[in-house]
Amino acid sequence: MGGDSCLRCCTRQLPLDYDTWYCIFQKLNSLIDQNSFGLTCVTFRNIQNSTSRRCLKIRCSNNNSIIDSFIIDKLLNRHSKLEKLTLGCYGCPHLTYSCLTPLLKYGSTLRSLNLDHCNSIRETQLKLIASACPLLSVISLTITSITDGGLQVLSKSCKYLNEVNLFGCYNITDNGIYFLIQNCHQLRALIISQCGLIHGVGFRECSPTLACLEAFNCDLDSKAVSRIVSGGGLEYLNLGTYGSRGSTVLEPIGLGFASKLKCLNIARCSLVDDDVIIKISRGCPLLQEWNLTGCNMIWIPGWKSIGKYCQNLETLHVGYCIGRGLLYVGAGCKRLSVIVIEENQNTSEIIGLFKLQREDVEIKTKVPWHDARSRVFKTYEKYRAG
């Protein structure tokens, strides 16, 4: 009888729970023995696979919004080589200090931590995280109640932070952003969309490593935009808004410091005019994707400048701003492959003419840009690789 059959027979007579099996597996000191037992027993093989797991998502069960620290301790002990841990995304909204204490034992290998929608996160929890996870490089804190003080603690201890998501963190001000910029010298991607208390002052002395910024619907003026682009390293920038944003606010993008930009979103900046479009077209020659949805003050000179200077443009969003000027884009942007429009614009006369002009360009109906927020880092990596 084979070893696996023998073990199945034994377990039918004397059932063992997973923890007991795990303790037995831990007693196998030799990697050769662990591999041998993993080949002969399904349970041992499953345990072996779990110990080498790199990513883990923990959710509360039985409709309970509070998770026991014992369960987290147990899971982190079982998956001892974790690099990415998710406790957010509605998984565990009420994380107490004690829930996070297991990180003091097992957090030294963590590179990525997701605490989205964990509304109970405060400065004390962030102090614990900063102490327990010195190698942390990615943290997501979407719609949490963290403050500038928490960011200061986190940024001082986690020197390797390079991706930070603060979407909807309504308590964060320019002071918190300043702490990140000053203390995290490897910071390359930052989301501050829907943070109403951020006005851009915190971006003074902006790091040249910052390559991706998502600041949708933030209250920024032209001085703030100047600070944001001053580092010179931006490749992805989202300054779209639900309100009106004047032309002068966006002028600094086209003055030379944003020459590396490959993806720009200024959707719904309804007051943007030809002068700004011309400056951005000239100043950002590497643009591959440009979202102009709702920018309905662009006339022929603006579209002509896009066709003339944006020779790397591949994707253009033109929802609610389609005019005959689009034909100048089609004539000039030889690499253009996708035009994104609104569904009700697909039968317009201009689109019909554009299809005749550029049969090689795909016409897509617009995907809501707020859906793209969750893909911001993935999108940035796309342009970074290119």
Best CA proximity match to 150, nearest among 127, 182, 177, 175: 127
What is the token pair recorded at 210?
A: 């910052």
Mean pLDDT of 212-238: 94
Give me the pLDDT at residue 10, please: 41
What residue has token string 């003091």? Answer: 104
Higher per-residue pLDDT: 263 or 2: 263
| Largest pairwise CA distance in the chain | 83
Confidence of residue 27 (pLDDT cuts 50, 70, 90): confident
Instruction: Tell me what percent of the residues of the chain surpass a pLDDT of 70.
Output: 78
Give me the pLDDT at residue 39, please: 62
Instruction: Tell me what percent of the residues of the chain surpass a pLDDT of 90.
Output: 56
Q: Is the pLDDT of residue 171 over 60?
A: yes
Give me the pLDDT at residue 344, please: 75
Q: What is the pLDDT of residues 239-266, one digit of tens each?
A: 998 777 777 899 999 999 999 999 999 9
Q: What is the pLDDT of residues 56-96, one digit of tens each?
A: 887 765 455 566 778 788 778 777 778 899 886 665 667 88
Give me the pLDDT at residue 11, please: 43
Give me the pLDDT at residue 130, please: 94
Mean pLDDT of 354-375: 74
Task: Compute the distance between CA of residue 52 and CA of residue 172 in angstroms, rounded to an integer.
Answer: 37
Give me the pLDDT at residue 365, please: 85
Q: What is the pLDDT of residues 109-132, one digit of tens each?
A: 999 999 998 888 889 999 999 999
Identity at 123, one-letter amino acid code: E
Give me the pLDDT at residue 14, please: 47
Give me the pLDDT at residue 25, please: 66
- Rounded to 10 degrees, what is the CA torsion of 120, 125, 126, 129? -130
194 membership: H or E segment, kind and range: none
Higher per-residue pLDDT: 218 or 21: 218
258 membership: H or E segment, kind and range: none
Q: 58, 91 in Cβ contact below 8 A?
A: yes
Q: Is 367 helix (H, G, I), strand (E, B) or coil?
A: coil
The answer for residues whose C-beta is within 8 angstroms of residue 166's C-beta and 6 or more apart is 141, 142, 146, 172, 176, 190, 191, 192, 195
Mean pLDDT of 26-48: 66
Confidence of residue 9 (pLDDT cuts 50, 70, 90): very low
Best CA proximity match to 190, nearest among 167, 213, 161, 171: 213
Higher per-residue pLDDT: 186 or 91: 186
Best CA proximity match to 150, nearest among 134, 181, 119, 171: 171
